[in-house]
Amino acid sequence: MSTVTDMTETEEAPAVHAAGALPRLAARTRNLRKVYGRTVAVDHVDLDVPVGAVLGMLGPNGSGKTTTIRMLLGLVLPTAGTVELLGHKMPDGASWALPEVGALVEGPGFHPFLSGRENLLRVAAAEPRLASKDIPRAVGQAIERVGLSGAANRRYRGYSLGMKQRLGLASALLLPRRFVVLDEPTNGLDPAGTREVRAVIADLHAAGTTVLVSSHLLAEVEATCTHVAVLHKGAVVAQGGLTELLEAGDAKLMVSTPDVTVAVNALRDNRIPAREVPNGVHVDLAATTAPEVVATLVGAGVAVHEVRRQRTGLEELFTRLTESAEKGNGLSDVDTFEEPS
Choose which of 67, 186, 226, 296 interacts with ligand ATP (CB under 6 A).
67
Residue 322 near ligand ATP by CB under 6 A: no
Beta partners for 74?
Answer: none
Among 10, 31, 39, 261, the residue binding ligand ATP under the rule CB under 6 A is 39
Q: 187 or 226: whose CB is closer to ligand ATP?
A: 187
Name the minimum Å distance from CB 186 to ligand ATP. Answer: 12
Identity of the residue, 172 or 302, whose beta carbon is nearer to ligand ATP in the bound complex: 172
Name the segment binding ligand ATP (CB under 6 A); options: 59-67, 94-102, 138-146, 317-325: 59-67
CB of 247 to ligand ATP, least distance (A): 26
Span 248-287, contacts to ligand ATP by CB under 6 A: none
**Contacts with ligand ATP in 79-138 (CB under 6 A)?**
none
Site membership for ligand ATP, residue 36 (CB under 6 A): yes
3 binds ligand ATP (CB under 6 A): no
Which of 66/226 has CB closer to ligand ATP? Answer: 66
Short-list 272, 302, 298, 268, CA closest to 285? 272
| Least separation in angstroms between CB 233 and ligand ATP | 9
Q: Which of 66, 209, 239, 257 binds ligand ATP (CB under 6 A)?
A: 66
Nearer to ligand ATP, 37 or 278 (CB): 37
216 binds ligand ATP per the rule CB under 6 A: yes
Q: Does 233 bind ligand ATP (CB under 6 A)?
A: no
257-264 long-range CB contacts below 8 Å, 24 or more apart?
Answer: 257/281, 257/297, 257/302, 257/303, 257/304, 257/305, 258/303, 258/305, 259/301, 259/302, 259/303, 262/300, 262/301, 262/302, 263/297, 263/300, 263/302
> Whole-number minimum distance, CB 43 to ligand ATP, in Å?
10
* Neighbouring-strand partners of residue 124: none
Question: Does the footprint of ligand ATP cover residue 29 (CB under 6 A)?
Answer: no
Residue 62 binds to ligand ATP (criterion: CB under 6 A): yes
CB neighbour class for 154 (10 Å; exposed up to 12, middle 13-18, buried from 19): middle
Q: Which stretch binds ligand ATP (CB under 6 A): 64-72, 149-157, 285-293, 299-307?
A: 64-72
Stretch that binds ligand ATP, among 45-53, 57-65, 199-207, 266-274 (CB under 6 A): 57-65
In the complex, the smallest distance separating the C-beta of residue 212 from ligand ATP, rounded to whole angstroms, is 13
> Does residue 77 belong to the site contacting ligand ATP (CB under 6 A)?
no
Closest CA to 77 of 44, 33, 117: 33
Provide, rounded to whole angstroms, the least separation between the CB of residue 315 and ligand ATP.
17
Which residues contact ligand ATP (rule: CB under 6 A)? Answer: 36, 39, 41, 59, 61-67, 216
